[in-house]
Structures are given as structure tokens and as C-alpha cells.
A and B are shown apart, each in its own frame.
Chain A
Amino acid sequence: MTLTEKRAWCLLAATVGAYTWYVVVLVGRFDGGPVQETPYVAALLWSLGASIVLNIAAEIVLSIANPRGARTKDERDRTIDRLGDQVGQSFVVIGGLAALLMAMAEWHWFWIANVLYLGFVLAAVLGSIAKIIMNRTTVPNP
């Protein structure tokens, strides 16, 4: 398994784990009233922070565990990284546009924050999946 793929797995696991925890906490706090009144800010910040910290920790472990030679990136790794990031970035844009439209339509900030966070999560998850698939199958020709 290449280092690019290991990194993609780490980002995928950290993001899915942190977001699952966030959703579980949110569902637990839901008291049957309007959804937007569920306290979410602290849980969202903890979830976001945890996914970043987990990913950094995984990067450090990967750097220590892999010898210097295995850490080098070649042109295929860079192509996979670039294409995977492009897949991910499209979801950041979609999330941003959705949040913009929701703000214009004066939706509750609960939904705007959650759509933005979901956009980040989808960007990380789908970008990582794209990188894993390209590592295991074919890299599209530019």
C-alpha cells in the first residue's frame, strides 16, 4: 500500500469517526422540539477539532512508521493527490453555495452550519475514496 493510500485511509477514518460521533451526540440531544434548537455548536467544534487532531496524529505515526524511501512521492502519487483533491473540492464548493443560498433565504444558522460541515465531511470522505480507488485501479489520463 502506498503512503498516499495510507494517508487517504487515515483521513477517511478520522473524518467518518468524528462526524459519526457528532451525529450521535446531536441525536442524543434532540428533545423532540424544533431541530434547529438542538445545542450543536460545542459538539461541532469538538468533532471538527478531533478530526483535525486525529489526522495530524495519524500523519506523525505514518511518518515514523515508514522509512525515508517509502515517504517519497512520485508523479503517480502527485497525480492521484491532485485528482482526489479535485473531487473533494467540488463538495466544498457545493456546500458553500448551498450555505449561501440558505443564508439568502434566511434559513436558521443551525442548518447553514451543518450544511457547511457536511460539505467539509463529504469533501474529505469522497476525496479519500477517490484516492483509494485510483491507487488500487487505474489513474485517469490527463
Chain B
Amino acid sequence: MPTRITNRIRALRFANNEMTQAELAERVGVTRQTIIAIEQGRYSPSLEVAFLIARALNARLEDVFQFPDSSGEPGEV
């Protein structure tokens, strides 16, 4: 079952000079497969990796990751 956490990593990568998944992975210190899994909602990263991703994308954590509130609307982390 996919994670309930959604993210805007793909959009933010393109907003950051079309950063590739490999570049993001290298900056964060994880494998490209992990970035792919996070982007596709197949893996929830640790808080530390989430912060590192946000920093690499020059964004706030809540701009990168969202979690649906009780009504099902996507809210911020």
C-alpha cells in the first residue's frame, strides 16, 4: 500500500534547474532508487532525509511533503 504522504519533489526538481534524480540522490546521500521510490510515494523517508531533500531543493519541508488532514484534503507536514 502506498504511503499517505504526498510530495512535490518532481516539480521542485524541475524548478531547480531541472535537477536529475541522480543529482538529488547524490546531494541527499541516498541511492537514485530511493529518490524514485520517494517520488512515487512507495517509501516514506526518515525525518532526516526529508529535511535533506527539502534543503537540496531549496524549499521548506512543508513545501515538499504533504499529509492529508482528517477530511482527506492534502495538508502540509
A, B bound: yes
Within 8 A of B (CB), among A75-129: 75-77
Contacting pair B30 A139 (CB below 8 A): no
Cβ-neighbour of B31 out of A72, A137, A139 (below 8 A):
A72
**In the bound complex, CA of A72 to CA of B33 (Å):** 12
Cβ-neighbour of A138 out of B30, B33, B34, B43 (below 8 A):
B43
The residue on B at minimum CB distance from A69 is B26
Cβ-neighbour of A76 out of B1, B2, B37 (below 8 A):
B37
Any B CB within 8 A of the CB of A31: no
The residue on B at minimum CB distance from A74 is B30
Of the candidate stretches B6-14, B44-52, B54-62, B66-74, the one touching chain A is: B44-52
Give the chain B neighbours of A75 by CB distance below 8 A.
Answer: 30, 34, 45-46, 49
Cβ-neighbour of A74 out of B1, B3, B31 (below 8 A):
B31
Contacting pair A137 B42 (CB below 8 A): yes
**In the bound complex, CA of A135 to CA of B36 (Å):** 11
A75-B45, A76-B37, A138-B43 given; name 13 further pairs at CB < 8 Å.
Answer: A2-B33, A70-B31, A74-B49, A75-B46, A76-B31, A76-B33, A76-B45, A77-B34, A138-B1, A138-B3, A139-B42, A139-B43, A141-B3
A residues with CB within 8 A of B: 2, 70, 72, 74-77, 135, 137-139, 141
B residues with CB within 8 A of A: 1-3, 29-31, 33-34, 37, 42-46, 49
